[in-house]
Each structure stands twice: as structure tokens, then as C-alpha cells.
Structure 1
Amino acid sequence: MTDSLRGFFDEIDAPSRSLVVVNRTEPEPVRNLLDSLLEDQSVAISERDLPDTDADVVLLVEDGEVVARSTLDELLESVLLINSDLYKTGTIDLDEVSLPDVLSGLDEVPFRLRGYPHSNKEKLLLIVVSRVIERIAAEAGGGTLRASFQRLSRLRDERGTHEVYEAVGNSGVDVHVYGVGDVDPSSSLPVTVHRGRSYPYRRSWFVVFTPPEEADAGRHAALVALEDEPNVWDGFWTFRPALVDRIDRHISTAL
């Protein structure tokens, strides 16, 4: 059993996966957007022209096998053309949030992602994955969601984030929020608040959902990221039930 959130990085499978853009007709700036999302990551991106195959498709490949596919349009609409401010302001409703299959399929691949001003896109991937997990929780209508915010005042200051946690809490999910206690979110949200000033409260970013025990009650999902440098995050996400349960158990007992 790991004694820190960092220890869970040693438990991920870290598979070797790559993306292949097939029969691209979209202009070069679209390819550049995809490159900027995964710049300096372990996920290679290449292009191929294949006969008898649809245009503008992105394939996720592992060990020579295609394990997922999405269209470039899906990537553009869900991530590549999205600004993180749209999530903070609530412009994007929770039921509109989606993660294309080729990005969802990068689960348990470790990332090192930079926020602004180092990158305009990389950190957005963590934001979208977080929202997807929150949507999974809201749709399950039960279970437990644990999320860290570094500063709990974000739940007050970011209208979109406040609306999401109001919706998830009111759906029947047991919501626990963690961070430096500069405000009390429980005064306006159906959440349990955990305050602290140690490293996990100040420098971690996690969103962890464990569904109810009933069969088909929902999917396990977790995002874990750690800020070891200012606005630079080491992170991964996973949908593996046993690993999600261990992460949830660590947070519930150690924080």
C-alpha cells in the first residue's frame, strides 16, 4: 500500500501508445493544435494515407493494433478548439463534456503537462478529464467523488466549477472537497470539506470517483496530478477499478 499520491505513479501500466492521423484533409493548423496538446509527451503522433479509409480520422495504436478511433472533428469540438475559461465560467454544461475515445484510451499513460504561459493547451487535457469524471459521477447519481482544488475559494470564484459541484452533490453523490481552507464551500454547496496545508492539499490535483456497489452503477475513474514545479503537473488518469479504489482509500485515510 503506497504512503503517498506519488506512489501511485509506480502502479500504472504506462503502456506504449501512439496516435496516427489518417487521410488528413484538415489544414496544417489543425495538426499543429493536436501536436501542441501532446507536445513533449511519450505519445508519438504520425500521419498516414490509407486507401478505403475515412478521411480525418485519428487512431490510437498499441503494439501495432488499433485500440480506439475518433474523428478530428470530435477532437476539435471537445478539446482542440476549447479554452479553459469556458469551463471556469460555466459556458460548457456538464452534460456537454466529452473525451474522445483516442484520448480516453491514453489512460495510465504518464503525462507532464504545463499551464499558461508555458502552454495554452497541455493543462486543458487535465481539465477536460476532470470534467468527464465529474460527469460520470453525476450520471451515476451515487457513490463517492473526491476532488482537490489547492484553494477551496475556486469553488466560489469559478462559476462553472461551482455549478458542477452543485449538480454532482444534488445528484446523490457523496462529494468530498480538499484544499487550503480560505473559504467554506459547504455554506453553499452539498459537499464535505477537508482543509489542510500539507503538500497534498496545496500541490495535488485529483478527481476520484468510486460508484455505488450495485452492478452497472457506474464506472470507476480517477485523475491524479502533482505540481512539483509552479504550474507544471505530473499526472495520469485511470479507469481501472482496483487502482481507483486504492487511490480513493488512500485519500480517505491519509488526508
Structure 2
Amino acid sequence: MFQLSLDLLPMLMTAAFVAGFVDAIAGGGGLITVPALMLAGIPPAQALATNKVQGVFGAATAAISYARRGLVDPRAQLPEAAIAFLAGLAGATLVSWLPTQALRFGLPVLLIGIAAFFALKPGLDDTDRLRRLTPAAFAATVVPAVGFYDGLLGPGTGSFFMLGFVTLAGYGILKATAHTKLLNFASNLGGLTAFALVGQPLWLVGAAMALAQVAGAMLGARLAMRIGARVIKPLLVATSTALALRLIWQML
């Protein structure tokens, strides 16, 4: 059974704080925390499960912060959140039955495409634009697809939700970020529910990291609400690109 030495805990909490800050703005916090957990010597499956523990708290904190500023109505999002939870639960439950390795090969291409879209498309700011899907259609297609992916693999979930809200729901950058967080929390919680049964998360490590994650998420959400697209777009591009490069490096 894995035992974590106390000198590694500050490192993990620092990683969680930075991840919470980044995730509250642009998503991609797992890019920081999962490698940190694995560098601490935690086996991969247990690292993923433990990451879900602390990630749930960070996403919840960001969702509450945006809701308090009136950027999102959590009650209106509850049906979508329920769908995301069930989809995340299903994805994590089926992770050993589906060809996830094949999906990993396409992920870098998708993430680089997302980075290029937000970096190069003109006119992307905090202004709402043309909606291409009704809320019901969005909830029936994008939400379960991304939620299922979050349970199945996870990296880039926030970026995929962001892309959906901007291109299909017609939201501005800040509004899209705010609406992403509750769904990301719900799909994370669904994945954690499944991992808790089979992945044996390290609850105490996850709880300690959650404290730091919450602090980082509060700071990140505050900065995003103050500056908006000017900070969200560059950070989203950077995290999507970094995640794509990390996945390519892992495959090579």
C-alpha cells in the first residue's frame, strides 16, 4: 500500500493551488496535478482517482464564485449538471471496456485545434454571439459527450466544454467559462463516484490538496471576472497546447 512522506505534501498542495488557479480560468488543472501525484510515487490509477477528489472541490469553488457574481444561474444548469454527472459516471465505469488508447492518439490534434481556434479566430471576446444549438439540444448532445469523455479520460474537459459553449451556445468567453464550471464539477463527481469503488483514491491526500485547490480557484475566478477574455483566451490557448504536447511526449 502506498504511503506518502510528509515532505511531499507541500509540493502536492502547491501544485493543487496552481492547478485551481489555472482551472478556474481556462481549465486544464489536471495537467499540473496528475503529473505531480505520479511524481510523488502514486500509481497511475490511484493518481487519477485522487486527482478527482481535489478537482471536485476546485470546480465547485469556481462555480460558486461565478454564480455569486451573477454570471451563471446554477438552478437553471441543474438538468445539464445531472446529465454531466451520469455521463461522467458511465465513462469512468466503462474505462476498462473501451479502447481508450485509440482515443488518446486523436486528443493532441483536437487540443491543438482548440488552441488554434481561440488564438486565431477574430472577434472572440466577452460578447455573446449567434446561438447554433438550443439549450435542450446542447444538453442532449454536447453535455453527455464531454461528460462521458471526462469520466473516460479527462484531460482537456474544460477546453471541450468551453469550445461547445462558445461555438454552439453562442456565449462570450467569460460567460462560457462561468457555465463550464458546474458541468465540470458534475462530471468530475460522477467520475469520482466510480473511481471511489475501484480506484482507491487517497482521501487524506486529496483532502489536503483540495484546500489548496479551493484557494487557487477563488483567486483564479476573481482574476477572470476582473479581466475577462484578455486573460482567459491566452491561458486557454497555453493550457490546451501544453496538454497536447504532454500527451504527444507520453506516446513517444
TM-score norm. by structure 2 comes to 0.27
- Whose strand proportion is higher, 1 or 2? 1
- Whose helix proportion is higher, 1 or 2? 2
TM-score norm. by structure 1 comes to 0.27
Larger RCO, structure (CA 8 Å, separation 6 or more)? 2
Larger Rg: 1
